[in-house]
Structure 1
Amino acid sequence: MTGLSEKPILIDGRGHLLGRLASVIAKQILNGRKVVVVRCEDLQLSGHFFRNKIKFLAYLRKRCNVNPARGPFHFRAPSRMLWKAVRGMVPHKTKRGHNALKRLKVYEGIPAPFDRQKRLCVPTAMRQLCLRPDRKFCDVGRVAHEVGWKYRDVVSNLEAKRKIKSRLSYLHTKKLKKLTWKARTTVADKVKDQDAVLRKYGYLTSEFEKKWSRPVLNAQPAKPGKKKRQAAAGRTTKIKKKSLAAIVKANF
């Protein structure tokens, strides 16, 4: 996460510890980077669920006696919990800290523009890497739901729809890639003269060939027996003798 860029850092909050992730985000936004965090409901807290719920209920009791509307304000949404944790780690009352917080966006679920973008994780904040296996932990979304967050079911339904849509899109893209590769291999003999001309002028590079080539793999168990090794060797020999069109026909 070094260097300056106008492109925001898109972080998937699932499986991250809230406080550790907040510290990394605070440093990045103070350095001028834009940060977007999605799936804040899947952030995690160290400690048992009941312990964290009691801590939050104690936090809710802290208010202004004269006029509670003056604050402090207790956010129930998981995204706002993360935002407030980050706010406590930046000098938010100064102009620099105020501008830094403007560079942070937090969301429950994965809204439309970000569901097709590559999401990153922060290894120094991952619960599986930072917390001992025998330690208790809980989800921020569950704590938020217990203390007044009303949209857990709504976010859950939207996420289920998004995953189905994403799966269908992936299968469609995979099918298109197979058809494109099949078409390319089918007409390879017909356009080899044109390919030679293009390759001469640098249009068909090795990276292009590597992208569209698919080696025929013959997966074998870790320690096969003698008969299986002989059979595998025989199959490999047969595959080598087959034409490219026959391999395509067998695989597709």
Structure 2
Amino acid sequence: MIVCDGKDMVLGRLASFVAKQLLKGERVVIVNAEKAVISGRRESTLNEYKAWLGARNLTNPRKGPFHLKRPEDLVRLAVRGMLPYDRPRGKEAFRRLRVHVGVPKEFSGKEFMSIPDASLGQLGTRRFIRVEMLSKHLGGKS
């Protein structure tokens, strides 16, 4: 089982690494998911997600699509986008993923795997937004 710390990790790079490990058959746990970052200008990222949030079924909005707003769900969605989710292999891989806000008691003393390519230091810019802030802006409850 691989335990990754999402703190100061670029979401897309973290998600691609995790997706690869899931497809290899590993179980992956991501802790501190709310502290992952999305690169880019804050305003443009927020506007992009607001537009995504506005997509709905006009005949009956209660039928969906339903948009996830919590930080752990946004991270899970990023990983799911990098898996062949419509195939049985991708669904099985996605079931092996666990995402947590903060660090649960069962992982508090364990060593977390670091992904050097996904760290915020590799980004080379200060233009980013944390998943936690994005979630609050979208109306998430976490």
TM range (shorter): over 0.9
CA distance in 1, matches of 2:90, 2:101: 24
SS in 1 for 2:49: helix
- Distance apart, 1:69 and its partner CA: 3.4
| Partner residue in 1 for 2:130 | 139
User: Could you say which structure has the greater relative contact order, defined with CA pairs below 8 angstroms and 6 or more residues apart?
Assistant: 2
Take 2:6 and 2:64, find their aligned partners in 1: how far apart are those partners? Answer: 28
Select which of 82, 86, 89 maps to 1:93.
86
Gaps of 5+ in 1: 1-7, 152-252
Moved beyond 3 Å, runs of 4+:
none
Offset, 1:148:
0.7
Q: Determine the structure 1 residue equivalent to 2:116.
A: 123
Name the structure where strand makes up a greater proportion of residues: 2
Q: 2:106 aligns with which of 99, 113, 121?
A: 113
TM-score (normalised: structure 2): 0.94
Q: Which amino acid aligns with 2:140?
A: W
Listed one character per residue, the Cα deviations across residues 229-248 of structure 1 (whole Å, up to 9, x for unaligned) are xxxxxxxxxxxxxxxxxxxx
Is residue 2:19 matched to residue 1:26?
A: yes
Cα distance in 2, alignment partners of residues 91 and 66 from structure 1: 30
The alignment's TM-score, normalised by the length of structure 1, stands at 0.54
Aligned residues: 142
Instruction: Please tell me whether residue 57 in structure 1 is matched to residue 61 in structure 2.
Output: no
Alignment partners' CA distance in 2, 1:142 and 1:35: 24
d(CA) in 1 for partners of 2:58, 2:94? 29
1:126-172: CA deviation from partner (whole Å, max 9, x where unpaired): 1211x124x41121101111111122xxxxxxxxxxxxxxxxxxxxx
1:144-202 CA-partner distances (Å, limit 9, x unpaired): 11111122xxxxxxxxxxxxxxxxxxxxxxxxxxxxxxxxxxxxxxxxxxxxxxxxxxx
Kindly provide the amino acid, as one letter, of the partner of residue 50 in structure 1. Answer: E
Which of the two has higher C-alpha Rg? 1
Q: In the alignment, what sits opposite 1:75?
A: 68
* Inter-partner Cα distance in structure 2 for 1:124 and 1:13: 13
Higher helix fraction (1 or 2): 1
Where structure 2 has 5 or more consecutive residues not aligned to the other structure, the ranges are none
Q: Please give the root-mean-square deviation of Cα atoms over the aligned residues, in Å.
A: 1.3
